[in-house]
Each structure stands twice: as structure tokens, then as C-alpha cells.
Amino acid sequence: MLRAPRALLPALLGAAALVAGCANNIDDKTANWSTEKIAAEARDELNSGSYDKAVPLLEKLEGRAAGTPQAQQAQLDKAYAQYKGKEKAQALATLERFIKLHPASPALDYALYLKGLINFNDDLGMFSWLSQQDLSERDQKAAKDSFESFRELTTRFPNSRYAQDARQRMTYIVNSLAQYEVHVARYYYERGAFVAAIARAQRAVADYQAVPAAEEALYILVKSYEALGLTQLRDDAQRVLSTNFPSSRYSTEGFKDKESAWWKFW
């Protein structure tokens, strides 16, 4: 086997590195761009909806402008692009990194809002009862994570431009989680699992105060206790239902076939 003389090896290795570097510069069209040009190109891609093209540009911008407000903005823009590009896990990871690295950033309220929004839109499972899936198997973690992000935002930044919308979404989430518990309770009730129905209805009443779903939860308690022959508990539940919902249609019409429209905010 022919080998290069030992004295030539350093020169050959150096030449190879130079060639590789040139190749990389040729492949990287942003190699000679200023950070301002990269930022402008990334904005254009974002505005046109080309999120997959915006992300690598923003990553380059973040690296080249490291330690500057421009790099922080690039991080946030990248999280937004990942979110719009249906890359939820990556977007959340980007935001977690931003929050950890920049706890005093003036854009922290936006980071928290975007984090809440990502989980809010991530198939919360609020109305999965429209499908045939067993409601008892639904995971509400995304909804609860969304609520926590919005709660932190409204607590730490009550006057933020995002706070009012976050509060509305928190109300929606609370109502939805309560409604979810009620649908699980009704699912069990309709299948004769009255003890399980009682447990879920009680959870809805205890954990979520003054929500629309409480009316149906109390009615499920009444009917489930009645089915089990627990007349005293049935009467107690009926009394609470009549006191809090004196005009309840459940007492005269039974379960509703159609869901109420409290949730139609967006």
C-alpha cells in the first residue's frame, strides 16, 4: 500500500480541512450574511408561512448573535415557527430553554403565553367524547400544563398585553376539565358503573367551583345514588342541585342530547 511521506501528513491534513471548510461555506448561503440580513430573511419566511425554512435561519441567527437581544428574539421566533410548523415538542423545548436562560427578559410574558398556547391547541381532548374513544382513557396533561403557563403569566405579569386573553383561556380550560369529568361520569353511569360515576361526578363538583358542568354532575350523583338504592344520599344531592340550579332542566327532562355552547370562544 502506498503511503504519503510522514513529513507531508500535516500539510495534507491542513489542505483537507481547508477544502472541507470551503465546501461548507459553499453549502451555507448565509456564510457571508450579516445578522441583519439573516433576520430579514427569517422574517420573510415566517410571514410567508414557510416555517420549515425559517427555523434553520433563526438557529443561525441565534448562534451568530449570541448574548444579544437579537439572539433572544431569534429564540422566540424559532419557538413560534416550530409551533406553527406542528413541531410541538421542539417548540416547548425551545421555550423552556429561553425561560431558563433569560428569567429577567422583558419578553418572558410572551414566552409563557406561547407555551400556554401550544398546549392549549395541542388536542386537549376536551371534546373527544364526540368520538367513540373511552373517555376514561383521555389524558388531560396538556390542558393542565396550558393552565399553569397562563396562571404564571397572569400572576407575574398581570398587566401584560397577553394577560386578558390568558385569563379567558384559563376559564375555558377550567370549564373544559370540569366538563371532561362530567362526561366520564356520564360514560360510567350509562354503562351501569354507578360507583365510578359517583367518584367522577364528585370530583367535578369538588375540584371545579361555579362551572356550568356542575349542574349535570349533581344530576349524575342523584341518579347514581338512586340506582344504588342510597336514598338519603340521593335526596342530599337533589337538594344541592335544586338550591344551586333551581331551574335545572335535568330534574324534568333528564340528560341533554346536545351540549351547551359555553365553550364556543374560538
Q: Output phi, psi for 32, to 5 deg.
A: -105, 15
Distance CA 95, CA 111 (A): 6
Please write the tens of the pLDDT for every residue from 97-107.
999 999 999 99
Grid cell digits, residue 199: 367518584
Instruction: Please tell me what DSSP assigns to residue 128.
Output: G
Contacts for 65 with CB less than 8 Å, ≥ 6 apart: 35, 71, 74
Rg, the chain, Cα only: 28
Burial readout 227-238 (b: 16 or more C-beta within 10 A, e: otherwise): eeebeebbeebb
Confidence of residue 182 (pLDDT cuts 50, 70, 90): very high
- Say how many Å lie between the first and final Cα of the chain, rounded: 72
| Strand blocks (E) in 104-188 | none
Q: What is the pLDDT of residue 251?
A: 78
43-66: average pLDDT: 95
Percent of the chain with pLDDT over 70: 79
Q: Which of 184, 114, 175 is nearest to 146 (CA)?
A: 114
pLDDT exceeds cutoff 50 at 201: yes
Q: What is the pLDDT of residue 23?
A: 47
Can you give the pTM of this predicted structure?
0.75
DSSP string, 169-193: HHHHHHHHHHHHHHHHHHHHHHTT-
User: Where is pLDDT greater, at 221 or 12?
Assistant: 221
Evaluated on CA atoms 116, 97, 58, 73, the torsion sign reads positive
